[in-house]
Chains A and B, each alone.
Chain A
Amino acid sequence: MALFGPSKREGDDGVRFSRTFFIILIGISAALIAFDRPAHRAPMLSTFRAMFDDVATPALEIGAKPWRGLRNIGPWWKRQWELAQENRALHEELIELRAWRDLALTLRDRVQLYEEALNLQTPALGTRISAWTVAEQRGPFVRARLIGIGYEDGIREGYPVVNIYGLVGRTVDVGMTSSRVLMLTDLNSRVSVMADRSNARALLVGDNSDFPRLEYLGREPDLIEGDRIVSSGDDNVLPRGLPIGEAVRDRDGHWRVRLYSEAAPIDLVWVWPYEPTPAPEANPPVPLVSEDAGEAPSQGQAG
């Protein structure tokens, strides 16, 4: 019985493979399932995944292009009518947005003054990086996307990913030329959020459904349907104020979020370079201040 490759039995008009080999491969698959858990993935496996994504991305990019093109297929006259409608709506929106831009600039200056007065050090967002989605999976096990930019383009693990409407997720498994985006709807996604109106805090928990749950809201949360939900920044994972969606109640009365990002195809996304505030050191070199002297050598320097 051959261990590798097919083997046929004498007098059998069919093809049979080595049962032992089947069992060995089934054992390897089971071992992979045991060790490659998304919540506790070994760095070696993460690196392997990132390398595989780097290799697969060019092919996936080619595969994704026809789908992007297909969305524009339709009767020519219908498309023209839609474009004219869209153009008119955009013009109206632009006029309204001019007033908002002026207001935003005024508020930005005012916030800057307040921050200077209070000596606040808020984490700043860098210049956003555009990327195309090249693969998507919304299966029962995972909600993730693969984007065609990676470490070489300045992407690091944990950066928030947004589309034109709101937050999509954050980067995980960053390769050299590709990155995996963990969607807000994924089972492993946890994001600290708040209601824009009332500042009511909650944890947005993905459960592989299209509407992630709001948990740890408290007994009587100050929340009403339609409240705008934004990232709170409390978890020090994502910056504060990223638009996420609006609060809705499900059939059982539990609070969930209708994601803004779902309103459009998540084809083109932007990655915001964001460095969270570093955690305090376990044993920082605290300067020792004596009553006699104003300054003393720090612990690190003390002999």
Chain B
Amino acid sequence: MRKKSNDRSSWPDFILIPLTLVISLILYAAPSRIPTGPHVSLLLPLITLFIWSVRTPTLTPPWLIFLTGVAQDLLSGGPMGVWALAYLVAFSIGRPRQIEGGIEFMTVLGRFLLVGAIALGVAALAGAAAVGAPTGITALITDGVLTIILFPVFAWVFARRKERTSFF
């Protein structure tokens, strides 16, 4: 008898995970600023990584988190390693480990808040160490708040349809 697996990954995920990560990185780096308006960047790579780490935890290993962070650093032109370190620390502490059955929305949001807060905190410290000067913490907080506000929209879109009642 086949052993019951709690890994819900399937072959389309092997394509979808890199594809969505690449798209999120491109959208993150795209020149979207309006001259007269405030500039805020949605941390789409963080949202994408988190959603996939909930949906298919086995397919979001540490090296994928690391590569996403490094790619984000390179695309942004910033010092290499900042976002890689931020994501690795955040996901090593805050990634959700429960994958059997559904996860309630508030649990997912709470975990995302934790992961997001750790990532932004580590990024601020690592960024300051890299550039050798205090970083604009306001810009990071603004980006973080916007990311948290818009996270449920992305989470809903990427949630499995039959399991939306329990969110993931």
- A positions within 8 Å CB-CB of B: 4-6, 8, 12-19, 21-22, 25-26, 28-33, 36-39, 45, 49, 52-53, 56, 59-60, 62-64, 67, 71, 133-142, 144-146, 173, 180, 187-188, 208-209, 262-267
Contacts and interface: CB of A to CB of B under 8 A. Distances in A.
A265 B31 contact: yes
B103 to A, nearest CB: 11
A13 B98 contact: yes
B113 interface: no
Given A30-B81, A141-B82, A14 B99 contact: yes
Contacts of A26: 85, 88-89, 92
A141 B127 CA distance: 6
A232 B122 CA distance: 40
A22 B92 contact: yes
Interface of B: 6-7, 22-23, 26-27, 29-35, 39, 41, 57-59, 61-63, 65-66, 69-70, 74-82, 84-85, 88-89, 92, 97-100, 124, 126-127, 129-133, 135-137, 139-140, 143
A141 B99 CA distance: 36
A49 B75 CA distance: 9
Nearest to A135: B29
B54 to A, nearest CB: 11
A141 B78 contact: yes
B32 A36 contact: no
B91 to A, nearest CB: 8
B63 A33 contact: no
A144 B77 contact: yes
20 contacts: A4-B61, A14-B97, A15-B97, A16-B97, A25-B63, A26-B92, A29-B70, A32-B79, A33-B79, A36-B81, A37-B79, A38-B130, A64-B31, A136-B32, A140-B135, A180-B77, A208-B136, A265-B31, A265-B34, A266-B31
A267 B31 contact: yes
Contacts of A17: 61-62
Contacts of A188: 131
Contacts of B34: 71, 265
Contacts of A36: 79-81, 130
Given A33-B80, A53-B74, A140-B127, A25 B143 contact: no
Contacts of A208: 135-136, 139
Given A15-B57, A29-B84, A59-B26, 14 more contacts: A8-B7, A15-B58, A17-B61, A26-B88, A31-B81, A36-B80, A49-B74, A53-B74, A64-B31, A71-B34, A135-B75, A138-B41, A140-B135, A141-B135
A136 B31 contact: yes
B75 to A, nearest CB: 6
Prevailing SS type, chain B contact patch? helix
A4 B88 CA distance: 15
A28 B79 contact: no
Given A26-B89, A136-B30, A37 B130 contact: yes
Contacts, number: 187
Contact of B124 (A6, A133, A136, A140): A140
- In the A-B complex, the 5 residue pairs with the smallest Cβ-Cβ separation, listed nearest first, are A32-B81, A14-B97, A144-B77, A136-B31, A29-B85
A30 B85 contact: yes
Nearest to B22: A59
A270 B123 CA distance: 33
B31 to A, nearest CB: 4
Nearest to B135: A140
A60 B98 contact: no
Contact of A25 (B78, B88, B97, B137): B88
A60 B30 contact: yes
A17 B76 CA distance: 28
Contacts of B77: 49, 135, 137, 142, 144-146, 173, 180
Nearest to B142: A140
A33 B81 contact: yes
A17 B91 CA distance: 11
Contacts of B127: 140-141
Contact of B130 (A19, A45, A141): A141
Contacts of A6: 57-59, 61
A278 B95 CA distance: 55
A56 B30 CA distance: 12
A21 B80 CA distance: 19
Contacts of B22: 59
